[in-house]
Amino acid sequence: MVLTQRLAALRWGWLLQWWLVFLSALIPLVLLLNAGVNNQLGADPAKTIVDELGTWAMNFLWLTLAITPARRLLGWRKPLLFRRMIGLYAFFYALLHLLAVATFILGWRADLIVREVSERPYVIAGFVAFLMLIPLAVTSTRGWQARLGRRWLSLHRLVYPISILALLHLVWLIRASYAEAILYSLLLAFLLGIRLHYFCNGRSK
Amino acid sequence: MLIRHTNKIAESEVTPLEVYVNRRTLMKGLVGLGFASAAMPAAALMQPETTDLPLYPGPAWLQPRLKTAPTTIVAKDDVAPYEACITHNNFYEFGTGKRDPYERAQDFNTDPWKVEVSGEVESPGTYNLEDLLAKVDLEERIYRLRCVEAWSMVIPWVGFELGKLIKQLNPTSRAKYVEFVTLEDPDQMPGQKGLFSSLDWPYIEGLRMDEAMHPLTLMAVGLYGNALPPQNGAPFRLVVPWKYGFKSVKSIVAIRFRETMPENTWRMTAPGEYGFYANVNPGVDHPRWSQATERRLPSGLFRPTILDTEMFNGYGEEVAGLYAGMDLKKWF
């Protein structure tokens, strides 16, 4: 009797946490929509939306990469439970970013889309990063995880080149201010560097 | 001394919408004329259409002159809304965000203003802007502005032909170029304090003498029938409508006549991406993005206004002769 009650409480606690994380990750999108409806996106709303969605795709990608170091360095195990969701949010914001570019900037004009994807190095870097995210999103389910077994882990190591391509995409866009790119670069250097450190020291766990 | 030229006015005090619409119709009547054959009456000055935003009447000595400037050149395209024009600016002295200048430049002190004239010129010296302007007539000109970032706007400037001022300053025969310098004042311009900016201050730009003397080359002191807002380069800026916007240097404190080609800030930062001439040219892409098309702001979200960029921003008929025989792929 007491046991069932405790189990039920745990279940409710877990559900609450799940919804909290799930809804929090939607806040950037809600704020953006709200600003759009209230005409607060400036004189070039298309550019504001595209930049904002791209920034959040990167934020969630960096956050995904921070979960393992957080466990190793700080002993935080809870975020592990939400890694799949956060990774999927990175994909979700990247997808919206791409749709926003195609719709608001390029007006779905085929000639412009082909031109951008074939000629612009920063677009190619970003687009390839997105394409590589697709198999990760598709195989994020437990079913696929079981089906792929050990290969699942190898496949999901794609997140490292993806993050480097995303960073390149950002750096290539700089006109004069390096502040943002330096921040993302330092964070990524730390997040990948710590993995390299553990790898070289042969500590698998 | 700090003088603010911003104030907000009541709805009832501004031009009735009907009058504004009529003016716009009047302007559209000039479609295709380019240069209007006769100067428009002063009342044709383009006025801001909304009142929630700050207005910039300018110093007392300038106001009456702004209000009586005739409209002489009218781009056929629709003029940008006032709000877009005063809140979407590349003015890195006030920050790299498009809205930074609007948010950070409102206390920028632009009157009195001094301009140093030096170099290969017979009347060097430091002039009060007011005295320089006494030498010229003001007019309103509606020009397309094409940013190197592939967006564009149509803007109603009030100003004067640079060439007419240059003639009165008497450059010597050795003057082949004109260099312009923006104010450097980190106390007023927070963007100049930035640690991670690749730009060197002060911002400098230059024109070849024949470009500076061209009748389309404007020195602006006004916008929408009022004074220039600080975020748009008050009190005194260059406007070269056939070149990318970064050539049109803002808040000018020095004009130098030179025998040799001056540097320009963006070219110093990235010589492979920005040239001295920086003529609008759909055939020469920026190394990182295309210049073949542009987004005309404001652009609808679901039906973006994508236009084919025109050679010399559509002013080729007037200015192509300046570059006869030049390889514009090399001299981008």
Question: Which pLDDT tens digit goes with each residue over A2-60?
Answer: 778 888 888 888 899 999 999 999 999 999 999 999 989 999 999 999 999 999 999 99
Report helix, strand or coil for B29: coil
Closest to A42 (Cβ–Cβ): which among B98, B149, B295?
B98
B156 lies in a domain?
Answer: yes
Give domain status of residue B1, yes or no. no
Facing A122 at nearest CB: one of B288, B292, B301: B288
3-state SS, residue B63: helix
Taking CA–CA distances from A182, the nearest residue in chain B reads B196
Task: Name the residue among A47, A112, A119 with its Cβ closest to that of B293.
Answer: A112
The answer to whether residue B330 sits within a structural domain is: no
| 0.80 exceeded by pTM | yes
> CB of B51 within 8 Å of any CB in chain A?
no
From the list B225, B242, B232, the residue with the least C-alpha distance to B323 is B242
Query: Is residue B127 in some structural domain?
Result: yes
User: Does residue B5 sit within a domain?
Assistant: no
Tell me what ipTM this predicted complex has: 0.87
**Residues in CB range of B181: below 8 A, 6 or more apart:** B202, B203, B204, B249, B252, B253, B254, B255, B256
Q: Does residue A121 belong to the interface with chain B, where contact is any CB pair within 8 Å?
A: yes
Is the minimum CB–CB distance between B194 and chain A shorter than 8 Å? yes
Question: Which two three-digit tokens encode residue B300?
Answer: 């609808």
Instruction: Please report how the helices A45-74 and A159-171 are oriented relative to each other, as an axis angle in degrees rounded to 10.
Output: 140
Burial grade of A150 (CB within 10 A; 0-12, 13-18, 19 or more): exposed
**How many percent of chain A have pLDDT more than 70?**
98
Which is it for strands B151-161 and B218-223: parallel, antiparallel or unpaired? antiparallel
Q: Do B194 and A177 touch (CB under 8 A)?
A: yes
- The encoded tokens of residue A191 equal 């997040």
For residue A198, give the nearest of A68, A64, A63 by alpha carbon: A68
**CA neighbours within 13 Å on the CB side: how many for B314?**
18
pLDDT in tens, B53-91: 999 999 999 999 999 999 999 998 999 999 999 999 999
**Which residue ranges make up each domain of chain A?**
41-200
DSSP A69-131: HHHHHH---GGGGGHHHHHHHHHHHHHHHHHHIIIIITTT-HHHHHHHHHH-HHHHHHHHHHH
If you count residue pairs, one on A and one on B, with CB atoms under 8 Å apart, how many are there? 76
pLDDT of A89 > 90? The answer is: yes
Question: Cβ–Cβ of A176/B197 closer than 8 Å?
Answer: yes
Predicted local confidence at residue B298, as pLDDT: 92
With a CB cutoff of 8 Å and minimum separation 6, the contacts of A92 are none
The distance of B296 to chain A (nearest Cα, Å) reads 10
Which DSSP state fits B55? B
Element spanning A181, H or E: helix A179-200
% of chain B beyond a pLDDT of 90? 81
CB atoms B304 and A106 under 8 Å: yes
Residue B331 forms part of a structural domain: no
Which residue among A109, A121, A176 places its CB closest to the CB of B269? A176
Q: Do B196 and A42 touch (CB under 8 A)?
A: no
Task: Compute CA distances A166 → A65, A91, A121, whole Å.
Answer: 13, 12, 12
Least confident of B10-14, B145-149, B174-178, B180-184: B10-14
Q: Give the least confident one: A35-39, A187-191, B79-83, B196-200.
A: B196-200
Question: Helices A45-74 and A27-37 meet at what angle, rounded to 10?
Answer: 160
Identify the domain containing residue B160 by its residue range.
Answer: 11-323
Distances B191 to A151, B91, B187, B236 between C-alpha atoms, Å: 50, 9, 10, 19
Terminal alpha carbon distance of chain A: 38
CA distance A39 to A18: 32
The average confidence (pLDDT) of chain B is 88
Smallest Cα–Cα separation from A189: which of A17, A31, A66, A44? A66
Give yes or no for a contact between B292 and B208, defined as CB atoms under 8 angstroms apart. Answer: no
Within a domain: B332: no
Tell whether the model's pLDDT for residue B14 goes beyond 50. no
How near does any CA of chain B get to the CA of A108, in Å? 9
**Which amino acid, residue B83?**
E
Closest CA to A89 of A27, A179, A144: A27
Q: Alpha-carbon distance B138 to B65, whole Å?
A: 7
State pLDDT tens for residues A148-181. 999 999 999 999 999 999 999 999 988 878 889 9
Number of domains in chain B: 1
Confidence of residue B1 (pLDDT cuts 50, 70, 90): very low
User: Per-residue pLDDT for B32 more than 80?
Assistant: no
Helix (H, G, I), strand (E, B) or coil at A132: helix
CATH at B61: 3.90.420.10
B260 has a pLDDT exceeding 80: yes
- Inspect the interface and report whether the beta carbons of A44 and B197 lie closer than 8 Å: no
DSSP letter, residue B243: B
Cross-chain residue pair B304–A177, CB shorter than 8 Å:
no
